[in-house]
Chains A and B, each alone.
Chain A
Amino acid sequence: MFRSRWRKILRDVWARKSRSAMAATAIFVGVLGVVTLLSAGDLLTSQLKQDLREEDLPMQAVFVSAPGGADLDNAAYLDALGESPGVTRVEGRAVRPLAWKLPGDAEFDDGFILAAWEPFDEITIQPMRLSGEGRYPSTGQHEIAIERRMADKHGLGVGDQILLRTPGGDAGGDAWTITGLVFMPYPSFSAAAAAVPSDASMFATFEDAQALGGFVGFSTLYARYTDFPTAQEQSDSFFAAIAQETPYVAVYNYIDDPAESFFITQTAQITGMLSMLGIIAMVVAGLLVVNIVNSIVGEDKRQIGVMKSLGATRWDNFVIYAGIAITFGVIGTVPGVVIGSYLGALMAQAMDETLLTSIEGFSLSSSAILTGIVMGLAIPFLAAIVPVFLGTRVTILQAMTDVGISGDYGKSRWARAFNAVPLPTNTKQAVTNVMRKKGRLALTWLTLTLAAASFMGIFGMFVSINDKIGGLFDAFGYEIVVVPNERQDFEQVRGLILAGVPGVEAVDPGIGLAVELEDYVSPETDTSQLQMTGFDPAAGSMELDIVAGTAWADDPAREGIVLTRGVANALDKAPGDTVALVAQGQRAEIEVIGVASFAIDQGFMEWRTLARLVGSTNSQGEPAPTSMLIQLVNPDPTVEEVDDVIDELDEVLLSDGIAASHVNQIGVAEEIAQLITMFGSIFQIAAIVMAVIGAIGLLSTLSMSVFERLREIGIMRSIGAGSVTIASQFLTEGMLVGMSAWLVAVPLAYLIAGGLLASMEIEIEGVGFDPSALWIGLIGMIVITVLASLGPSLSAARKTVSEILRYQ
């Protein structure tokens, strides 16, 4: 018996090839999305959980700027900081740029030296691990360890030699021997706040690193406390201790609960959100299955009646038609799971560097596979239950007797009101036809609405983000930021650069660090820390869009602070008011001299004012910038052109014994744009999948409509309706459904954009929803509805009277 049923199921699936292909494709796409995104998320978060050990993570990390030329007693500073309230352990780390090359190579590559004050085997916070081969390097032996990913990338091993470019050293580089391969699972950040790439990370003892990188001080201080609440409470006192007990200037810090590491939660959040989109696509695919099964059961009404007359029970019919839905599921699920698992692994590998982890080799996520299989089979089955249940309820009498549209059709209040509207008969007919099958219409409409709202919401949000980020970079009048490892004599370095590096227009002073702003709560970090930028208002390094106050228009040396609009609004401050800043343990009241329109919460000050406030001074006690902002002669350089200037700049500075980190602003802007595009594309693909599924749903609904109204089409044709009349009626129906879906999708798109921004915790001033997405959505909807309606319309238009009415 079972075999006969399955034969009918398989033959029916095969007999309706195009519809089966539609349903199976929709399920395939949904399963593919779910498995790919869940796999990537699972692999990435699993890897992060495996790599990032709770007991090894710091509770507070403070990025510091070291004074230049000072004789530092780092051991004493660490001891003093270790006495801060609640602190159980403090460790110092230096992450500095270090150029390197293979023997025989012409040019140096950019790399980083990572060094800890503590001996390798005594590091307890964010420790690196020997990766099977070799040993840690020893001091004074020209020994170095490299990250295993750097070894893999360049084919290096223990015993190999590499050439390192040291400040003031041989321009050809000094030979250092690799003693070990190291796995560094924790993210490291350079002084320029950039994540250090694992495949360019080298490790040496602190003393050797000082010689290699041309520095004496730390770049980061890590602290652990008795517990995380203590870390939160005592963060300020740690800052005060840095100011009082050390010559370091705290530039920026982050506090993170090791039990809920930001890196893991961020990854889980991003991948979770992507997975949600996959699941939505799967559910939308389910809606399509509802439509298709509904249409199949509708078409097979007579067959159901015949089978009942042959003795089939309702259960027999239910098994057959639910079996068809499950067969769609199997056809879509198998390739969806297989390809999705593969793509998920690839996606995890592609995203690992961005999410600061490393996925090696091909791994499968069993939970993603299981979820894909369950959803791929359960959703079509669940989607089929109601239409099959209702469809198989038909009696033999109902199935074998065509009683047509019920006699009271057109007598409702709506129908009477609509009939009074002066519209062409053809349009009226299209509208009333749309309203005939309300259940089926609702599903198609819902699918299209969801798809349009998702597409427009996502598109509008990313256009807005791109726009604001682009505006943000427009405010920067410089292309390169140079952050010397230690504070240098600004005028001397400026002279060196202007004299030795071609293509440089100007070198301006800059300071970038975080201060505490009273009464302010950062929407991103939930702390009172505000990022401050100090610059020279007389130079062209910053071009702020001042929306209130005069700022430095009359006096470039004016003391005071310019707040971005978001901060000013949050504090309810206007030009003329004062705000209280706490920096280096000192509180100071500063006048607000302007409000700027800027995408991210920040404060801006004249650089000398800020330097004095935060204690960034030279050995003579004069204000010293922590960075240099370099404008190029070329007003619109490419990333590569800026890199070329950086190479020359590096050479000039290293020759003079100055090691520094660099930021290619054009490159950063491009990377951010690429990142936004990457995430945007993933979201867009999910939305487009939904739109395609919606279109297939509309196609299916209209095809059913053509099938059900064959007799009506035949009668219309017999009384003179032409192909255009018939086709236009179905096109009108499709457009009506599409346009009404678009109208409802408009407010939903705003809600989706807002929801996504909130869930991604994007707090950029002015970022919201770009209305241009609505018009693109409208055009897309018109294209989709026309394409989806075209097939059924033409099919209806091609029917001849004789072929329609012959068997009626």
Chain B
Amino acid sequence: MPEPLVQINDLVKTYETPAGPLSVLQGIDMEIGRGEFIALVGPSGGGKSTFLNMLTGIDRPTSGMVVVDGVDVSTTSERKLTRWRARNIGIVFQFFQLLPTLTVLENVMMPMDFARVHDRQERSDKAMTLLERFDVADQADKTPDLLSGGQQQRVAIARALANDPVLLVGDEPTGNLDHMSAAVVFETFYELRDQGQTVVIVTHDREVVQDVPTVLRLSDGLVDSTSLEAAAKRQTREQQATRLADL
């Protein structure tokens, strides 16, 4: 297991509803290592999106602890979380969520603006580099509505990586794409993983995650233990293979 980036202890999230308390996460314990690529799968209402919200500090747990890169996001103030999120987390949404009145380049520059990093020229240069990396540089001056779904999602990934986050999360990042585009987006995630980026995605589409090294099943508010074991075995195999290769 690589050095853990994320540590989750006894994570519980319960919503109060007119019909009574609804427990969406029921005591999850897990660790995510640096450079890992994890896919969370499971049925609708299984708590996948809630889990991601806990991970990114968008929502707070009812109990338990979430520590990301040494920061306890479950107790940090909202103001600090905003700054922390700007520099440490990249989020990719299902519906891309690009700002429609800004150009593709400006969309990618925006997180750097908010994080107040780099000067204007550096932001622009870095945004262009990211767009080139994801093969959408030729669309830089267009507004998002002129791009295909796959292109928009690649721009969204570029935007999510603008501040070199330690953790990239995707909430159904291919849920609004056709298979071809979805495959391209996952290729991008694999490349990122290969470059050492930690990636966590949630999806209900098992087909697209068949090549993801670690696939966890989230059901009824708990991570399926068999999937955790399988993940551990798979990781061990990969580490052994790596050591053998090194020899």
Contacts and interface: CB of A to CB of B under 8 A. Distances in A.
Among B58, B59, B86, B91, chain A packs the most CB atoms within 10 A around the CB of B58
B215 interface: no
Contacts of A396: 58
Nearest to B169: A309
A313 B82 contact: yes
Most chain A Cβ neighbours within 10 Å, of B85, B93, B97: B97
Contacts of A3: 120
A12 B99 CA distance: 10
A313 B58 contact: no
A307 B93 CA distance: 12
A807 B94 CA distance: 12
Contacts of B95: 807
A309 B101 contact: no
B119 to A, nearest CB: 10
Contacts of A7: 102, 106
Query: What's the interface size class on A, roughly?
Result: 20 to 34
Nearest to A3: B120
Interface stretch (B26-34, B108-116, B191-199, B232-240): B108-116
B102 A8 contact: yes
B58 A5 contact: no
Contacts of A309: 56, 58, 85, 91
Given A15-B101, A306-B93, A311 B18 contact: no
A302 B102 contact: no
Which residue among B56, B91, B99, B101 has the maximum number of chain A CB atoms within 10 Å of its CB?
A: B101
A370 interface: no
A313 B79 contact: yes
B114 A310 contact: yes
Interface in B55-111: 56, 58-59, 79, 82-83, 85-87, 91, 93, 95, 97, 99-102, 106, 109-111
Interface string A275-311: 0000000000000000000000000001100111111
Contacts of B59: 397
Contacts of B111: 310-311
Contact of A408 (B18, B53, B85, B110): B18
B174 interface: no
B53 A397 contact: yes
Interface in A1-36: 1, 3-5, 7-8, 11-12, 14-15
A12 B115 contact: no
A6 to B, nearest CB: 11
Contact of B101 (A8, A302, A310): A8
A210 interface: no
Nearest to A400: B93
A807 B175 CA distance: 12
A643 interface: no
Nearest to B162: A310
Contacts of A313: 79, 82-83, 114
Interface in A646-702: none
Nearest to A314: B82
Nearest to B57: A396
A312 interface: yes
Contacts of B106: 4, 7-8
A763 interface: no
A4 B53 contact: no
A1 B82 contact: no
Contacts of B102: 7-8, 11
B110 A308 contact: no
Given A7-B106, A395-B58, A311 B87 contact: yes
B151 interface: no
Contacts of A4: 106, 109-110, 113
B159 interface: yes
Interface in A143-190: none
A395 B18 CA distance: 22
Contacts of B82: 308, 311-314
B110 A397 contact: no
A422 interface: no
Contacts of A559: none
Contacts of A8: 99, 101-102, 106
B152 interface: no
B53 A311 contact: no
B203 interface: no
Contacts, number: 70
B93 A311 contact: no
B103 to A, nearest CB: 9
Contact of B18 (A12, A407, A807): A407
Interface string B122-137: 0000000000000000
Contact of A307 (B18, B79, B114): B114
B214 interface: no
Contacts of B113: 1, 4-5
Contacts of B87: 311
Interface in A337-390: none
Contacts of B53: 397
A11 B100 CA distance: 9
Which residue, of A12, A400, A807, has the highest number of chain B Cβ atoms within 10 A?
A400
Nearest to A406: B18
Nearest to A807: B95
Nearest to B95: A807
Contact of B99 (A1, A306, A395, A807): A306
A312 B114 contact: yes
A199 interface: no
A257 interface: no
B114 A311 contact: yes
Nearest to B123: A4
Interface string A387-424: 00000000111001000000110000000000000000
Contact of B159 (A12, A308, A310, A397): A310
Given A11-B101, A397-B58, A310 B110 contact: yes
A311 B97 contact: no
Contact of B163 (A307, A311, A314): A311
Contacts of A518: none
A309 B59 CA distance: 12
A309 B102 CA distance: 17
A396 B99 CA distance: 15
A591 interface: no
A5 B102 CA distance: 10
Interface in B1-28: 17-18
A641 interface: no
Contacts of B109: 4
Residue from the set A310, A316, A407, A807 with the largest chain B CB neighbour count within 10 Å = A310
Most chain B beta carbons < 10 A, residue from A3, A311, A807 = A311
A652 to B, nearest CB: 80
Contacts of A311: 82-83, 85-87, 111, 114-115, 163
Interface string A307-325: 1111111101000000000
A11 B102 CA distance: 7
Contacts of B56: 309
Residue with the greatest number of chain A CB neighbours at <10 A, chosen from B83, B114, B116, B120: B114
Contacts of A408: 18
A2 to B, nearest CB: 9
Contacts of B86: 310-312
B101 to A, nearest CB: 4
Contacts of B115: 311
Contacts of B101: 8, 11-12, 14-15
Contacts of A395: 58
Contacts of B83: 311, 313
A275 to B, nearest CB: 38
Interface of A: 1, 3-5, 7-8, 11-12, 14-15, 302-303, 306-314, 316, 395-397, 400, 407-408, 807
9 contacts: A1-B113, A8-B99, A309-B56, A310-B91, A311-B115, A314-B82, A316-B114, A407-B17, A407-B18
Q: Please name the 8 residue pairs, one residue from A and one from B, whose CB atoms are nearest each other, closest first.
A: A311-B86, A11-B101, A311-B114, A4-B113, A310-B111, A306-B97, A312-B114, A396-B58
